[in-house]
């Protein structure tokens, strides 16, 4: 699943104090957090349910209230309440922390960063935006849910709305899944849903409009915003109703009417259907972005449950960022007419800053007479799937946009193409994709690559170097004694406090991947005696080395005894505490021996290098004698 870049995540890694994170996890109940999204049943000391991260028929998803940790025995998903909100709701680390803090009445403190590796970072943008008070958002959420329930109830007896939905091929099951409803014709129907129609919360939530006219009592008249429309609830990533889209039944205008901007709802950052589509997006490994609510619902009816839609506005960078948190592959579907092309171009502009080498962004253009719904109904699901597979890559669409209507056999045409390409190339990250696109431009314009880079004011050296950038997953291939030491540190981070400064520096300075050890030890020292795998894993998976640590996590959780320790044992049980201490003692001895072996190997390498020299300075001779003595001592300690 996609998420904010490691650079963004690690920029303010220590902005949230580790002590606050520990206190927060002590105050929240992971069973309550997970239980909002997953139906859990008590099973012994833990709770069980169907995993929300993959499809399964028998529950393999376990939540431990005593260890405040979840783990799926099927797909390996695991983490704390923070990690669950990130993985399931698509929140960034600070967003998840902020959400949990608000739920228990805490304010998130911040402190300057002193770390280099990664951790509790932030997404795009710095720090937290001022938040609306939880009391206000809770009250408005309750108002919106009440309205949603009312609209759904009204749909049951609205024959005209039911006929409209049936005509569009929707079943009652799919209407229920998306919570579709009906706003009756009339000016003040919501009076029957709320005890106080004049409550300002109805206005603030965008459900009621205040007129300039006055009633007989001299008060401003009020009336319902939505009248005689099929209602589409808009949910946030937590499943809360934050707005509505209303579709007119006849030929009236506007065809679609959205909720206004409110403390809950901002149409430039929300996506219709994202909450309902999350599991399908993970299963299909891509998200399909369409143009309207009805397209989303109709496609879900036809088997494409991974579709979402913008809310009557152009695709924004915030939309793209939200999508990339869910998946690395985004496919935009637009009508083939001029309006569809304009919408696609705006989506292209929004995508460029997020176009990473490990992401796929494509553009699907249907014939002008079709939308996705009508295309599937006429040609079938397989034909539409083929269209999705053949969707145009971002690079080709960008090239087409820049070169369209240009006379490339004329200097003026080529100059205009370079002029139009400049802001697009500058918006792309300096990666392999940008380099490849620049080579495409250079080939089509028949000009040198360096000339494209110079005229577009793009650093050619960065772009060319990026072409050979290693895949993220291959950047840290930790093996042998280093891998075992790293695995022990991650599983038992409390042993870090027992390490002397010399031993810790050996881990950082003598290993091939010192930055990984530095990241773990820095977090572990900040967490102190309370350091545990549960929180440490959430911190590490949000740093620059997340991909490497995910492999370490999987290895740790492959051992049944590790999973049993993480899920089953009560941390307050005396025998469990003693067993943990004994385990940490053994691991600490093993780590000390591993560090000694690393120092021994480094000593041997230095001795070997000095021995090959034909001449030595007095200092080097003294070093040789000292190293020989040190090697002998370490060899004796190692039993070699």
616 or 347, higher pLDDT: 347
Tell me the CB-side half-sphere exposure of residue 272, using CA atoms within 13 A.
Answer: 28
Instruction: Output phi, psi for 290, to 5 deg.
Output: -115, -175
Which structural domains are found in the chain, ordered by start?
6-103 (3.90.580.10), 134-258 (3.90.980.10), 295-307+316-390 (3.40.1360.10), 400-468 (1.20.50), 476-638 (1.10.860)
Which residues does 321 contact at the CB level (< 8 Å), separation at least 6?
A: 4, 123, 124, 354
- At 12-69, the pLDDT tens digits run 444 788 888 888 888 888 888 888 788 888 887 788 999 988 888 888 899 988 788 8
Asked whether 13 and 119 are in contact (CB, 8 A), the reply is: yes
- pLDDT category at 116 given cuts 50, 70, 90 is very low
- At 273-282, the pLDDT tens digits run 998 998 899 8
Quote the mean pLDDT of the chain.
Answer: 83
Quote the pLDDT of residue 507.
Answer: 78
Distance, CA of 152 to CA of 170 (rounded, Å): 15
What would the DSSP string read from start to end of 155-211? Answer: HTT-HHHHHHHHHTT--HHHHHHTT-EEE-SSS-GGGGT-S-TT-HHHHHTTSEEEE
Distance, CA of 66 to CA of 46 (rounded, Å): 8
- At 315-335, the pLDDT tens digits run 988 888 888 878 889 999 988
Residue whose token pair is 């400049």: 422
536 or 473, higher pLDDT: 536
Out of 109-123, 135-149, 171-185, 325-339, which region has the weakest mean confidence (pLDDT)? 109-123
**Which ranges constitute the DSSP H helices of 168-258?**
172-177, 200-204
- pTM for this predicted structure: 0.63
Asked whether 101 and 71 are in contact (CB, 8 A), the reply is: no
Residues 145-152 have a mean pLDDT of 96
Residues 141-152 have a mean pLDDT of 96
């Amino acid at each position: 699943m996609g998420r904010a870049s490691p650079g963004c995540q690690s920029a303010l890694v220590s902005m949230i104090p580790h002590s606050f994170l520990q206190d927060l996890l002590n105050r929240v109940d992971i069973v309550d957090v997970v239980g909002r999204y997953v139906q859990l049943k008590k099973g012994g000391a833990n709770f069980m349910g169907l995993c929300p991260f993959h499809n399964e028929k028998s529950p393999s998803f376990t939540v431990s209230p005593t260890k405040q940790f979840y783990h799926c025995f099927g797909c390996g998903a695991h983490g704390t309440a923070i990690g669950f909100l990130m993985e399931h709701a698509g929140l960034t680390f600070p967003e998840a922390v902020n959400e949990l803090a608000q739920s228990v009445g805490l304010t998130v403190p911040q402190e300057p960063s002193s770390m280099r590796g990664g951790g509790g970072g932030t997404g795009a943008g710095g720090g937290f935006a001022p938040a609306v008070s939880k009391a206000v958002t809770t009250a408005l959420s309750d108002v919106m849910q009440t309205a949603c329930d009312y609209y759904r109830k009204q749909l049951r007896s609205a024959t005209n709305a039911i006929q409209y939905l049936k005509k569009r091929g929707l079943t009652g099951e799919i209407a229920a899944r998306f919570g579709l409803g009906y706003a009756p014709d009339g000016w003040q129907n919501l009076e029957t849903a709320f005890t106080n129609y004049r409550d300002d919360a109805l206005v603030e939530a965008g459900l009621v409009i205040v007129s300039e006219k006055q009633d007989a009592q001299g008060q401003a008249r009020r009336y319902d915003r939505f009248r005689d429309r099929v209602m589409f609830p808009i949910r946030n990533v937590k499943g809360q109703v934050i707005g509505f889209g209303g579709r007119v039944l006849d030929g009236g205008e506007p065809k679609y009417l959205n909720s206004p901007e409110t403390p809950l709802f901002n149409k430039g950052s929300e996506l219709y259907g994202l909450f309902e589509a999350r599991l399908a997006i993970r299963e299909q490994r891509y998200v399909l972005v369409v143009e309207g609510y009805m397209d989303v619902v109709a496609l879900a009816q036809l088997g494409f449950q991974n579709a979402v839609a913008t809310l009557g506005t152009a695709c924004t960078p915030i939309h793209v960022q939200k999508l990339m948190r869910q998946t690395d592959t985004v496919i935009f579907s637009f009508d083939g007419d001029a309006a569809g092309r304009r919408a696609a171009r705006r989506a292209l502009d929004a995508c460029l800053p997020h176009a990473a080498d490990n992401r796929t962004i494509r553009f699907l253009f249907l014939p002008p007479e079709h939308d996705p719904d009508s295309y599937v109904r006429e040609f079938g699901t397989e034909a539409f799937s083929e269209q999705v597979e053949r969707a145009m890559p971002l690079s080709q669409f960008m090239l087409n946009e820049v070169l369209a209507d240009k006379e490339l056999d004329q200097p003026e045409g080529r100059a205009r193409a370079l002029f139009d390409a400049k802001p697009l190339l500058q918006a792309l990250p300096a990666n392999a994709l940008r380099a490849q696109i620049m080579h495409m431009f250079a080939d089509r314009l028949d000009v040198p690559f360096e000339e494209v880079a110079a005229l577009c004011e793009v650093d050619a050296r960065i772009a060319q170097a990026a072409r050979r950038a290693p895949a993220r997953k291959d950047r840290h291939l930790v093996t042998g004694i280093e891998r075992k030491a790293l695995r022990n540190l991650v599983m038992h981070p409390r042993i870090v406090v027992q390490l002397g400064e010399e031993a810790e520096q050996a881990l950082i300075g003598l290993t091939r991947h010192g930055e990984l050890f530095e990241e773990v030890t820095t977090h572990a020292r900040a967490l102190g005696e309370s350091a545990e795998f549960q929180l440490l894993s959430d911190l590490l998976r949000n740093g620059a080395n997340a991909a490497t640590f995910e492999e370490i996590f999987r290895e740790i959780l492959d051992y049944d005894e590790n999973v049993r320790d993480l899920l089953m044992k009560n941390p307050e049980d005396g025998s469990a505490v003693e067993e943990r201490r004994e385990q940490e003692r053994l691991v600490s001895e093993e780590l000390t021996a591993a560090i000694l072996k690393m120092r021994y190997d480094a000593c041997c390498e230095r001795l070997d290098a000095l021995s090959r020299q034909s001449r030595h300075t007095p200092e080097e001779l003294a070093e040789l004698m000292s190293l020989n003595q040190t090697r002998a001592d370490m060899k004796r300690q190692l039993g070699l």
